[in-house]
Structure 1
Amino acid sequence: MSLDPLLLEILACPCPQHAPLRQDTLAGAPVLVCTACNLAFPVRDDIPVMLLDEASPFPEAAAPATS
Structure 2
Amino acid sequence: MPSQGPEQGAEPLLYAATSPDAGGYYGPRWAMVGPTKPISLPRSAQDKAVAARLWTEAEHLTDVSLPPQKL
TM-score (norm 1): 0.30
| Structure with max Cα Rg | 2
Which structure dedicates a bigger proportion of its chain to helix? 2
Which structure dedicates a bigger proportion of its chain to strand? 1
TM-score (norm 2): 0.30
